[in-house]
Amino acid sequence: MPGPTPPDEPRFDLSLDPIQPRNRVGWYLVIAISAFMVAVQLATYLQRPTKERFRRAEAEMVLRMVAVQQALLASAGPQGKTASAPLPPTLRPELETLRDRALRFAEKDPEASRVYAIVSRELGQPIAPKLLRPLAESKDERMRLLAAFYAGTASMEPSELARRVDDGTILGRYAATQVRESAGKATGPDRGLLPPSQLAAWIAIALGAVGVLLLSVLLWVAYLVARSRGALRPLGPPLRAENAALSDHLALRAGLMFVAFLVLDALFSLSKGDGMGLEAYLRGLLLIGAAVAAASVPIQGRRLGLGAIGVGWRRLGRHILWGLAAAVANVPVLIAAMILGLALFPNLPTPEHPITDEIAKGGWAVAGAVLFLGAVVAPIVEEIWFRGLLLPAMVRSMGGVFGGVFFSSLLFAMVHPTGVPAWPALAAIGAMASLLTFQTRSLVPSIVMHAVHNGTLLLLNFLLFGS
């Protein structure tokens, strides 16, 4: 049996009051608003195929990945080779898939036409003249020059043409390389598609990913060995709903957070801005304020406080280390959960967060706003919301820890706009955050883990999708 709560750990004292009558208003709010949010998210997600359009950012990601692999294969080949290496057979399927996708939009979309022409050239396949028409009719001189080149009617000197079509993106570098190669100019085995610094960064990322996976296995082994020897025993949750009245009270606070989220979302949706400037920081600060208020202000004449749900400065260093370790240990779990989601829902649209569209715009202003919302605001708000308030309420209402963790984590996954196949991975994040809270009697480790996870994904998305 768990020992008594240490006197320096603040606890909510409603359970010490006489038994209160049930007040299910909070549960009604949680159920109604979460159902509304899930319905909206699903409706938007399931309409993606009908509103499908060509996404240049996705094409750039594929071409960048192919360029990295080709450069690595070239560097591993015979030294001193000056001619460009042929396209390895292992890379053809990726390019063929991209070409087929671009082909669906190429007759009307200049960007799709450009990708179709570049990839067809890489594959050594013929380019249909009618699919170059969007390029030839574009107002962008660079596009018109490309149309002439791929149609075989370009009159400009190759070195000048290569300079003119290279816009600094991976698409521009591919086009410029193809112009030089068509004129018989050697581009080297790696073709110069990636600057050496970028290639070094990709190699570092790949090695880092391998290192993270190995470290995650070591962390799980170390934790399980320590537990088998009686160490690292879970301290229990910061807050227990000792009776139904406390569960109702926590649900009410969580329900008010749902209301605050919807109100702020509606207010900022009326703004004429893109939401990625100062509005993003204001919105984030207001969301944090709403979360702190929902956990702290007197409601029904009773206080709660951040300390009661596990937010505090005590043992901060230890709790940060727990969060960092959990973020690493959770990587293979997330990979397995994502594979499971894709296997369970193979016919549904690919999971994708709407923030990807903002990331594709690039720029430091967008990067700063997205990182602030995703890696600072979301971890604080969502952990207070789901683990600080809803988790203890659901543990009581669902009859135990398993039911509380399962349903709170599932709800956490469902209200995200990413898509159904991502639900298992999102629920795995929620479950790990819940277990961290029970392990450390603090919300700080789950906030840190959540921040590291979101920040890492956003940085990788900027690398893959950012212009």
pLDDT in tens, 46-77: 887 666 677 787 788 888 888 888 877 776 65
Q: What is the percent of the chain where pLDDT is above 70?
A: 88
Asked, for residue 444, whether it belongs to a domain, the answer is: yes
Of the three residues 134, 168, 192, the one that is the final residue of a domain is: 192
Closest to 348 measured CA to CA, from 407, 450, 419: 419
Residues 345 and 396 placed together within one structural domain of the fold: yes
Residues 167 and 265 placed together within one structural domain of the fold: no
Asked, for residue 200, whether it belongs to a domain, the answer is: no
Closest to 275 measured CA to CA, from 353, 372, 351: 372
Between 124 and 20, residue with greater pLDDT? 124
Residues 454 and 323 placed together within one structural domain of the fold: yes
Residues 162 and 267 placed together within one structural domain of the fold: no
| HEC string for the chain | CCCCCCCCCCCCCHHHCCCCCCCCHHHHHHHHHHHHHHHHHHHHHHCCHHHCCCCHHHHHHHHHHHHHHHHHHHHCCCCCCCCCCCCCHHHHHHHHHHHHHHHCCCCCCHHHHHHHHHHHHHHCCCCCHHHHHHHHCCCCHHHHHHHHHHHCCCCCCHHHHHHHHCCCCHHHHHHHHHHHHHCCCCCCCCCCCCCHHHHHHHHHHHHHHHHHHHHHHHHHHHHHHHHHCCCCCCCCCCCCCCCHHHHHHHHHHHHHHHHHHHHHHHHHHCCCCCCCCHHHHHHHHHHHHHHHHHHHCCECCECCCCHHHCCCCCCHHHHHHHHHHHHHHCHHHHHHHHHHHHHHCCCCCCCCCCHHHHHHHCCHHHHHHHHHHHHHHHHHHHHHHHHHHHHHHHHHHCCCHHHHHHHHHHHHHHCCCCCHHHHHHHHHHHHHHHHHHHHHCCCHHHHHHHHHHHHHHHHHHHHHHCC
Asked, for residue 181, whether it belongs to a domain, the answer is: yes
438 has a pLDDT exceeding 80: yes
> Is this structure's pTM higher than 0.75?
yes
321 is written with which tokens? 């280390």
Would you state the pLDDT for residue 215? 97
- Domain around 125: 56-76+85-192
To the nearest whole number, what is the mean pLDDT of the chain? 85
Q: What is the percent of the chain where pLDDT is above 90?
A: 48
Would you state the pLDDT for residue 465? 61
Q: What angle do CA 433, 434, 439 make, to 5 degrees?
A: 95
Residues 404 and 322 placed together within one structural domain of the fold: yes
17 has a pLDDT exceeding 90: no
Residues 49 and 61 placed together within one structural domain of the fold: no
Residues 279 and 327 placed together within one structural domain of the fold: yes
Asked, for residue 201, whether it belongs to a domain, the answer is: no
Of the three residues 192, 225, 252, the one that is the final residue of a domain is: 192
Residues 371 and 308 placed together within one structural domain of the fold: yes
208 has a pLDDT exceeding 60: yes
Asked, for residue 431, whether it belongs to a domain, the answer is: yes
Cα 239 from Cα 85, distance rounded (Å): 62
Residues 141 and 284 placed together within one structural domain of the fold: no
Between 193 and 256, residue with greater pLDDT? 256
Residues 127 and 33 placed together within one structural domain of the fold: no
Cα 409 from Cα 428, distance rounded (Å): 7
How many independent structural domains does the chain possess? 2
Asked, for residue 224, whether it belongs to a domain, the answer is: no
Residues 407 and 372 placed together within one structural domain of the fold: yes
Banded model confidence at residue 11, pLDDT cuts 50, 70, 90 = very low
Would you state the pLDDT for residue 436? 96
Asked, for residue 445, whether it belongs to a domain, the answer is: yes
Of the three residues 160, 192, 224, the one that is the final residue of a domain is: 192
Residues 113 and 64 placed together within one structural domain of the fold: yes
Asked, for residue 139, whether it belongs to a domain, the answer is: yes
